[in-house]
Every structure is written in structure tokens, then in C-alpha cells.
Amino acid sequence: MTRHRIDQILSRHGYCSRGESRGWLKAGRVRIGDLIAGDPSEKVAISDLRIDGEPVDHPEGVLVMLHKPAGLVCSHDGREGPNIYSLLPERWLRRNPPVTSVGRLDKDTTGLLLVTDQGPLVQRWTSPRHKVVKRYEATVDRDLDPDLVPLFASGTLRLPDDPEPCLPATLTLTGDRTASLELVEGRFHQVRRMFACRGFRVVSLHRSRFGKLELGSLAAGEWTPIEAGAI
Ligand code: URA
């Protein structure tokens, strides 16, 4: 079993910095099995460590599905307003690397958002090469035009300032002003900009699916751990 230094485990998982770890050990907050740990440089199996009596939090990395409510941004920068990280354990932002969202949803968009501290998963699931299907439920400001269906499916729709046309997307009209849209890309404001190309304003937007994963009955503001294989 791989062993790591105690101070590295504490800092990697966001408990404290390596420098602060000696204080944590002195205070008796860290145990190896039943024994109070004394040396921050001691190498231990992560599963043997107890911190304040608890096993190490998400020792294999964080991966959760969050139901993003409206009004929160996905940015880490506090100057951009209240963010989704306020819904998650504070310690996750001190992990190394810290948690981040897999792509972003606009401030007013609700729904399924993945959050992880695993960079390769972010790269895999945001790259259009991997063709991960994202499904959005949109409401627009006037009655929809059925001609949007073949237009979005055509692979010829150009968004202003984007050099490449959008990849084919599947639009299903679900009501006079409501539709579901499945995309494999994740361009900036993509859904709003696709509708705007034909003069529609998206008045509400919700993501209900990411890959194989459905948001289901998870309440707004709640999160739940998932396995990478669920995507
Ligand atoms: N497309 C948008 O326009 N906004 C989002 O939040 C997600 C996709």
C-alpha cells in the first residue's frame, strides 16, 4: 500500500498547510489507528489516518454532482459575486489542487454541475473531442420556430465571433416556448447564443443531463458524490 508523509496528506486534503501540521499533531488531532501521531514526516497509509477522529475526507479525490441554483457564479474569484463553492465544504477549496467545476454554468442557469479536484477529468469532460452530451431545458421569450431544429442539427450554425460553426445539436420542441437541446460542446454562453442567432432570448435555462448522468431529484443547492464511470 502506498504511504505518504502525514504533513503532505494534511495539506493535499485541505486540513492545514505542511507548516501548520506540527501544531495539529501536537494538539493530538491526528492519529494513526489508535495512536496519536507525533512526527509529521512519518509515512503512513492514508486509510490508517484519523483526523479529529474521522477518516481522511475523499482520499481518492473529490467528484460530486451539484444542483446549481440560480444566482451563483462558477468562478473562484469572490469579486464576481457569490459562488457555488459556498455550497460545498470550505476545506475543499484548500485541497491541492482545489476543487473546480467541470466547465461552467452562467449565473442564472440552474442544474447539473460536476465539481472535482481531478484535472484530467475536467479536461476529458470539457473537450468536444470526447463528445460528452449535455442536455439543457430552455424557455425562450416568444413562440419557437420549428426551423430551428434542422438549423441546430446542421453543423453550419455560426455564432458571432466564433471561427468554427457549432457541431450538430439535437433540439426537441417541448412546448410553444420550451425546448430541450443536446450539445457535445461547451462554448461560452452557447445555448443562449445559439437561440440569439435567430432572435430568441433565453429566459430560463436548466441543465438536466451530463453524459449518462441525470440530475434526477437532487434538490437545488444539494450535492452528492458520484463515480467517474457514471458519466
Ligand atoms: N449555455 C449557456 O448559454 N449558458 C449556460 O450556462 C450553459 C450553456
Annotated active-site residue 161? The verdict is no
Q: What is the mean pLDDT of residues 167-184?
A: 98
CA–centroid distance, 103 to ligand 1, in Å, is 10
CA–centroid distance, 120 to ligand 1, in Å, is 22
How much of the chain exceeds pLDDT 70, in percent?
Answer: 100
Q: What is the mean pLDDT of residues 120-139?
A: 95
User: Among 101, 30, 29, which Cα is nearest to 72's?
Assistant: 101
CA–centroid distance, 189 to ligand 1, in Å, is 4
Q: What is the pLDDT of residue 128?
A: 86
**pLDDT tens by residue, 46-59:** 999 999 999 999 99
Separation of alpha carbons 231 and 228, rounded Å: 6
Instruction: Identify whether the C-beta of residue 228 lies closer than 8 Å to the C-beta of residue 186.
Output: no
Q: Quick one: cell of 13?
A: 486534503
One-letter amino acid for residue 126 of the chain: T
Which of 101, 185, 190 best tests ligand 1's pocket when mutated (most atoms within 8 Å of CB)?
190
Task: Determine which residue's CA is closest to atom 2 belonging to ligand 1.
Answer: 189
**pLDDT tens by residue, 74-129:** 999 999 999 999 999 999 999 999 999 999 999 999 999 999 999 999 999 999 89
- Domains of the chain: residue spans and CATH: 4-55 (3.10.290.10), 63-127+213-230 (3.30.70.580), 133-210 (3.30.70.1560)
Mean pLDDT of the chain: 97
Element (H, E) at 171: strand 170-173
User: Among 94, 118, 134, which Cα is nearest to 228's?
Assistant: 118
Those residues whose C-beta lies under 8 Å from the C-beta of residue 9, and which sit 6 or more positions away, are: 44, 46, 49, 56
Bridge partners of 30? 51
Q: What is the pLDDT of residue 1?
A: 77
Separation of alpha carbons 214 and 161, rounded Å: 32
How many Å separate Cα 53 from the centre of its chain?
Answer: 29
Question: Any residues with Cβ below 6 Å from ligand 1, and which?
Answer: 105-106, 109, 189-192, 205
pLDDT of 142 strictly over 90: yes
The residue annotated as part of the active site, out of 106, 108, 145, 161, is: 106
Q: Quick one: cell of 20?
A: 501548520
